[in-house]
Structure 1
């Protein structure tokens, strides 16, 4: 009964606009007081929840993405993507997706992609005569590739909560991320035929070669991160630190676009973002601890099995639950709350925790494109200077390829498990 009250209080607090971290902490405190437990349990569990070595990767990956944006490296990435795929019909739509794939290997965050590349992409598409709705929709959808292709902040958080290998999770995200890109490019091709969108420019090897050389050093960032992890040179946490060092080297030593003032500004922004994420993780930890201590996962599993013993139906139910929660809850909070409850059910169905992590993160990324939370939509609403409601309708058609990929990944584990099995097992 107390657990039910806690969950109802949490959603009530969120509905009236209380910040997610505060709502989680207050709901957990209410449970502790109702059960007559010492209030210090809340603080102790919150501190323990963020006392984790892998979580050190979070601020460094955020800092790396911010440094990339501040150093103007995103412009070089966009130019290379334009030379590579801009010759196709609806070229800038394909460029949008391609640039997101490249940037995904550097930042690991959808909001960073939408805010960093989004401004360049939407302006270029508008100037070339593309509909604003199409530009906003494809920019929003392609930004969700960022947290799937490594490095990925949500996968780091999931790995900590699920006690799963972050290296394996990173490997598991590569093929699904490329599948998302391919599905979105098919959608762009269809739109381009329907609306007669032009080719952006003719293909030239000289242009491709020049833009590749200009972007070569930034393109080495994902190679450093993924290659270093694959060959055991460093852990995912150490890879985040290496990424920051490389970004500073590029911005200060090579391109000379970063100075002390910019680095200080970016550092303060990183601290602010990290503090918000860590508060959510800490508050979610005590909430998840209460659910675990009260055997909520076991009760939920028994309820699911009582409904049906069909694996396909159970997987669809789990997917629907995560999708619905993703509509209303911030990604990090959803991961820390849902993982202890749903992971035991998934494991009971024979699903590998690494595979389940990819399913969950892609589910929650789709939530970033849907109201009422929809953080990517809020960012693009400011970037494109269009109403939030228009961003919602513009993005809706692009949910079709993303959900299609989600279903493929859910029911064909080989897509996400092939690389981790090859590298680690």
Structure 2
């Protein structure tokens, strides 16, 4: 690569601005405008790509709607009632509170689509419950909350899969289905590790919920548990598109919190709207910046160049997937997941297609990689969130995360080696890819 070419200078500008603290979305826009200027092209093309990409992609609307639904759940009492129900299921086992943490993430995954929402929402409650009376160390409770939150975006609905569908044109519905078995597999492996830790470290056994209380707790949680059923049922029955289902999820969360549970005040509702707007604006700016920068990448013919290089290496599909895994795992240590999805993954997609790799399977592999990046140092975002919530040193949280990371890497390897783990459910639903 010519280090004095407009593209190289644009890359240096984007990197420099990001290191100086400018949001990555704005950094990409500035670097792309610099590239257009140096090539004598109309700089207004940047605005054209931004607006056309943002307003012509109906799918993007699903992102703020899922974020809003998750914020409403966390502001009302839906999450609290969900935890009580999980206590009925697994609370009486040794290490029951730890198992509750895993199971609540599994159920919450069917509602929010966001690992950050999961950790920030139920994370504080689980931290308080697990560390009360010194039942668990703060670092173990924080580490467990971080790794279980990773399950959220693998199971449907999933905001990262929505973004992947945006850059790959893969079917969101089939992507959602493809994440079910990998998500359940990861959940099972995490529960195995918790069970092992419970026996090894002699975790406490929680008091069993009296039999007479189980119907009441279940009935109180029923409206919350109904949310993923309605959401996914509407998508796969063809009643709604995934974006319309996201709007339905947000409306249902408001209905349950305000009308049924009566647990959402005006102040809390307004706060949820503000947080959702800020988060959506941040993600939206990153998506817009990536759309502009991807136009520059297309002009430079980077995807086709990469495809030619990889074909020259004569990689098999499996070798390519293993290479992508290594690259994404390394990038996940230093880059935010959405940035990787929007900037790096589109470059790999033409090569994957040329090698005959199914884009739905590839999407699951990509999303699992990016979720692992949320709990890998030094930039793991979930590590920072749980450090702030728990007050534990990050070093201690990372130490307690390591056994779970080993299981999650095993899950990634299995998904990579055996595509049918991801594609079995989509094929049952008629997928022919």
The TM-score with structure 2 as length reference comes to 0.94
Checking the alignment, whether the CA contact within 8 Å between 1:308 and 1:314 is kept in structure 2 is no
Residue 215 (structure 1) aligns with: 221
Residue 261 (structure 2) aligns with: 255
Residue 234 (structure 2) aligns with: 228
Residue 12 (structure 2) aligns with: 8
Q: Spell out, residue by residue over 1:225-258, the C-alpha distance to the aligned partner (whole angstroms, 9 max, x if none).
A: 1011111111101101111111111111111111
Within 5 Å, give how 1:45-194 maps onto structure 2: 45-51=49-55, 52-127=57-132, 129-194=135-200
Per mean C-alpha deviation after superposition, the further-off stretch among 243-252 and 311-320 is 311-320
Aligned match for 2:346, one of 312, 335, 340: 340
Aligned match for 1:366, one of 363, 368, 372: 372
Checking the alignment, whether the CA contact within 8 Å between 1:84 and 1:203 is kept in structure 2 is no
Checking the alignment, whether the CA contact within 8 Å between 2:317 and 2:357 is kept in structure 1 is no
Residue 208 (structure 2) aligns with: 202
Is 1:381 aligned to 2:395, yes or no?
no
Checking the alignment, whether the CA contact within 8 Å between 1:87 and 1:201 is kept in structure 2 is yes
Partner Cα separation in structure 1 for residue 36 and residue 425 of structure 2: 43
Partner Cα separation in structure 2 for residue 163 and residue 318 of structure 1: 19
Partner Cα separation in structure 1 for residue 288 and residue 18 of structure 2: 17
Is 1:393 aligned to 2:399, yes or no?
yes
Checking the alignment, whether the CA contact within 8 Å between 2:316 and 2:355 is kept in structure 1 is no
- Report the 3-state secondary structure (helix = DSSP H, G, I; strand = E; otherwise coil) of the residue aligned with 1:198: coil
How far is the alpha carbon of 1:338 from its aligned partner? 2.1
How far is the alpha carbon of 1:424 from its aligned partner? 3.3
Is 1:42 aligned to 2:46, yes or no?
yes
Q: How many residues align?
A: 425
How far is the alpha carbon of 1:306 from its aligned partner? 3.1
Pick closer, same or farther for the CA change 1:299–1:204 going to 2, 3 Å.
farther
Pick closer, same or farther for the CA change 1:110–1:315 going to 2, 3 Å.
same
- Report the 3-state secondary structure (helix = DSSP H, G, I; strand = E; otherwise coil) of the residue aligned with 1:88: coil
How far is the alpha carbon of 1:164 from its aligned partner? 1.2
Partner Cα separation in structure 2 for residue 34 and residue 205 of structure 1: 73
How far is the alpha carbon of 1:307 from its aligned partner? 3.5
How far is the alpha carbon of 1:272 from its aligned partner? 0.9
Partner Cα separation in structure 1 for residue 11 and residue 411 of structure 2: 31
Unpaired stretches in structure 2, ≥5 consecutive residues: none
How far is the alpha carbon of 1:308 from its aligned partner? 4.5
How far is the alpha carbon of 1:207 from its aligned partner? 4.1
Checking the alignment, whether the CA contact within 8 Å between 2:115 and 2:151 is kept in structure 1 is yes
Q: Spell out, residue by residue over 1:296-346, the C-alpha distance to the aligned partner (whole angstroms, 9 max, x if none).
A: 112112223333523332211111111122222222221111232111122
Pick closer, same or farther for the CA change 1:204–1:351 going to 2, 3 Å.
farther
Output the aligned Cα RMSD: 1.7
Within 5 Å, give how 1:315-330 maps onto structure 2: 315-330=321-336
Pick closer, same or farther for the CA change 1:85–1:12 going to 2, 3 Å.
same
Residue 32 (structure 2) aligns with: 28
Per mean C-alpha deviation after superposition, the further-off stretch among 208-217 and 91-100 is 208-217
Per mean C-alpha deviation after superposition, the further-off stretch among 120-129 and 135-144 is 120-129
Per mean C-alpha deviation after superposition, the further-off stretch among 298-307 and 213-222 is 298-307
Per mean C-alpha deviation after superposition, the further-off stretch among 71-80 and 300-309 is 300-309
Residue 309 (structure 2) aligns with: 303
Partner Cα separation in structure 2 for residue 8 and residue 408 of structure 1: 37
Checking the alignment, whether the CA contact within 8 Å between 2:139 and 2:390 is kept in structure 1 is no
Partner Cα separation in structure 2 for residue 132 and residue 92 of structure 1: 13
Unpaired stretches in structure 1, ≥5 consecutive residues: none
Partner Cα separation in structure 2 for residue 298 and residue 243 of structure 1: 39
- Report the 3-state secondary structure (helix = DSSP H, G, I; strand = E; otherwise coil) of the residue aligned with 1:370: coil
Checking the alignment, whether the CA contact within 8 Å between 2:173 and 2:235 is kept in structure 1 is yes
Checking the alignment, whether the CA contact within 8 Å between 2:82 and 2:104 is kept in structure 1 is yes
Partner Cα separation in structure 2 for residue 278 and residue 195 of structure 1: 44
Pick closer, same or farther for the CA change 1:28–1:147 going to 2, 3 Å.
same
The TM-score with structure 1 as length reference comes to 0.96
